[in-house]
Structure 1
């Protein structure tokens, strides 16, 4: 599970077994893990986060979308 970035309390990472899925990023804080599609950015799984915090995380994913997509394709290929 390569970590791509840390922003505040959040760890953004990929799961190596996810290569068959569309580009996405997992976001972890403590024991909660959400999943966001990257193109377009959309919540796929809330993973225990409350709606307000998910909105904040979605903004972070949107801000770093290009970087996350670039890293996805570097890791999984096109």
Structure 2
């Protein structure tokens, strides 16, 4: 599970077995988790975050998207 970013207690990562899916990040904190697709920054799964939290997590993902995509491609191959 490569960790891409730690921010305000949130951990942004992807699972090592996720390579068959399009690029995305999982974000966890306090037993909550979301999955955000990197191509359009849409929320694929949300387990517990409220709308305000999700908006903030999408914003942070947008800021770091180039680095996240690069890490994905380096790990899984382009």
Pairwise TM-score range, normalised by the shorter structure: over 0.9
Unaligned runs of at least 5 residues, structure 2: none
Shift of 1:8: 1.1
Structure 2 residue 10 is matched with structure 1 residue 3:
no
Alpha-carbon distance between aligned partners in 2 of 1:73 and 1:44, rounded to the nearest angstrom: 20
CA RMSD of aligned residues (A): 0.7
**Which residue matches 2:40?**
40
Shift of 1:41: 1.1
**Secondary structure of 1:11's partner?**
strand
Unaligned runs of at least 5 residues, structure 1: none
Shift of 1:10: 0.8
Alpha-carbon distance between aligned partners in 2 of 1:69 and 1:8, rounded to the nearest angstrom: 21
**Which residue matches 1:64?**
64
Alpha-carbon distance between aligned partners in 2 of 1:46 and 1:52, rounded to the nearest angstrom: 13
